[in-house]
Chains A and B, each alone.
Chain A
Amino acid sequence: MNWPRTRLFRSGLLISLGLVTEAATFFFGGPVPFLVFAMVGCVLVGAGVLDFLLFVLSQKADT
């Protein structure tokens, strides 16, 4: 059974955007980059991971 491309693409996009945001924060100093890391980067990564996990669980429920 093939996983839907769009679902994987959405999860991957959220995770990728989050990781790129996190990586960018290491090139600036001070507390603001950390806040961007936590409140933007980690939230995007978390949303993407959650989207993926929910999809996996829904697949298990269907089978």
Chain B
Amino acid sequence: MSLIGPAVAVLVVATVAAIAVLASHPGAFASKKGKALAFLIFFVLPVSVSGVGAMAHMEAAKSTEFCLSCHVMKPYGESLRYDDSAFIPAVHYQNGLVPRERACFTCHTTYTMFGDVRAKLNGLRHVWIYYTGQTPAKIALYQPYANRECLNCHAQARSFLEGGLHADVMPDLLSNKTSCKECHEQFHDVANVASHAKWKGAQP
């Protein structure tokens, strides 16, 4: 965690100190200004600090480190280091095509209006399943991977739009009629994680 922890700690200390001082001097709230101050100290500040904290936790939940903190995700983290450019997650991670600190979230959110919210809610569900021992033997996506998630980045790239290989099927790719996965079919392959050579570069 960057500076968020210390920053929230400072806000908390300031709020708690204000509460402690004012709670021990209830006479201060006799006036109208005092009542307004009480409302600020006992309502506005705690709610605001909690809101900032919740937003910070939401951001932290997007990090690769967060995703890989559950041991069932360890093979997926190792798959990011496959020394084989045929594997989509590995080539994206190793070449910085997705931010390394948000590698998982960048591809596994959905780029719709409430896609991030849905991803977070699914994350809560995963936490429940993980800690209640219901993790399935085979982890799979809820639905087929949509081209939209690839096109969110690739559709803005000249090399993709004008590159010869995609031109013939571009309308079908853009409309999700033809899946990107029909050609780019190597992903995590966690069943064979031990057999793949690994790049010894940046660790996820």
User: B5 near A1 (CB under 8 angstroms)?
Assistant: no
Within 8 A of A (CB), among B124-148: 127, 130
Q: Is B164 an interface residue (CB 8 A)?
A: no
Bound together, the chains give a CA A19 to CA B28 distance in angstroms of: 23
Bound together, the chains give a CA A29 to CA B24 distance in angstroms of: 36
Q: How many residues of A contact B (CB 8 A)?
A: 35
B19 smallest CB distance to A (angstroms): 4
Provided the pairs A3-B26, A9-B23, A16-B19 are in contact, do residues A29 and B46 lie with their beta carbons within 8 angstroms?
A: no
Q: DSSP majority for the B interface? A: helix
Chain B residues near A20 (CB, 8 Å)? 12, 16
User: B54 near A37 (CB under 8 angstroms)?
Assistant: yes
User: A4 near B26 (CB under 8 angstroms)?
Assistant: yes
User: B61 near A22 (CB under 8 angstroms)?
Assistant: no
Q: How many residues of B contact A (CB 8 A)?
A: 40
Chain A residues near B66 (CB, 8 Å)? 29-31
A16 smallest CB distance to B (angstroms): 5
Q: Is B122 an interface residue (CB 8 A)?
A: no
Chain A residues near B53 (CB, 8 Å)? 22-23, 25-26, 37, 41
Q: DSSP majority for the A interface? A: helix
Please list 19 pairs of residues, one from A and one from B, whose beta carbons are closer than 8 Å in the complex, sorted by A's number. Answer: A3-B26, A3-B29, A4-B26, A11-B23, A12-B23, A15-B16, A16-B16, A19-B12, A22-B12, A22-B50, A22-B53, A23-B12, A26-B8, A30-B69, A34-B57, A34-B60, A38-B54, A41-B50, A48-B42
Closest 9 CB pairs of A and B: A26-B5, A30-B69, A12-B23, A23-B12, A12-B19, A52-B42, A8-B23, A3-B26, A19-B12
Beyond known contacts A3-B29, A31-B61, A56-B35: 4 more, CB 8 A cutoff:
A4-B26, A8-B22, A49-B46, A52-B38
Could you list which residues of chain B lie within 8 angstroms of chain A, going by C-beta atoms?
A: 1, 4-5, 8-9, 12-13, 15-16, 19-20, 22-24, 26-27, 29-30, 35, 38-39, 42-43, 46-47, 49-50, 53-54, 56-57, 60-61, 65-66, 69-70, 123, 127, 130
